[in-house]
Amino acid sequence: MKIRHLWLAPTALILATATLSAWAVPPAPQGFQLGGDATRGKAVYARSCALCHGPAGKGDGAMAAGLDPKPQDFTSRAEMGKRSDWEIYLVIRDGGKAVGRSPQMLSYKSMLADPQIRDVAAYVRSLAK
Ligand code: HEC
């Protein structure tokens, strides 16, 4: 390899690492418990989430038509059963992009306090039960 091509190796490594980490959901911190109160979360949901996720969580909110991919049907046990509490919590807290999903799912950590994120996650969880 000529000297002037040496920069390629570290660049490729950085790109590969960035691509991998964009898709990886980091493991839950040890002893992670979602907690949260689904009844309180329902109010947060109606205010902040229903526009895209639909009033009943079916992924059919007023803004959903313009979204690609479409939001998941939160009432589907088959789909939602594959997600851990940690994944649900994390995608709401850090946004879709942080876990390799659509960036149209925003990060709520600057808009909601942590207990509210847990409440709304608990509400989302309750929809498929
Ligand atoms: C601007 C539209 C929009 C708003 C507002 C929004 N979301 Fe999302 N959300 C999305 C989209 C689009 C996805 C799908 C991402 C994907 O599958 O790549 C998503 C994904 C999710 C997921 C992951 C679902 C799965 O498949 O595991 C959860 C959980 C979620 N949203 C919860 C919420 C909550 C809770 C709120 C309110 C605090 C909220 N979202 C607000 C658009 C939105």
Whether 83 lines ligand 1, by a CB cut-off of 6 Å, is: yes
Per-residue pLDDT of 8-54, as tens digits, reads 766 666 655 544 444 468 899 999 999 999 999 999 999 999 999 99
Residue holding tokens 């992670």? 32
Name the pTM for this structure: 0.86
Whether 73 contacts 81, CB under 8 Å: no
d(CA 124, CA 128): 8
- Give distance in angstroms: CA of 2 to centre of ligand 1: 48
Burial of 57 (0-12, 13-18, 19+ CB in 10 A): buried
Indicate if the pLDDT at residue 84 is higher than 50.
yes
Indicate if the pLDDT at residue 1 is higher than 80.
no
Our CA angle for 20, 24, 110, nearest 5°, is: 115
Read off the tokens for 83: 């997600």
Segments in 24-113 forming alpha helices (H): 38-48, 50-53, 77-80, 85-94
Indicate if the pLDDT at residue 64 is higher than 90.
yes
| Mutate which of 72, 94, 105, 118 for ligand 1 pocket (most atoms within 8 A of beta carbon) | 105
Handedness of CA 46, 123, 36, 68 (dihedral sign): negative
Whether 102 lines ligand 1, by a CB cut-off of 6 Å, is: yes
Whether 120 lines ligand 1, by a CB cut-off of 6 Å, is: yes
CATH 1.10.760.10 fits 32-126, yes or no: yes
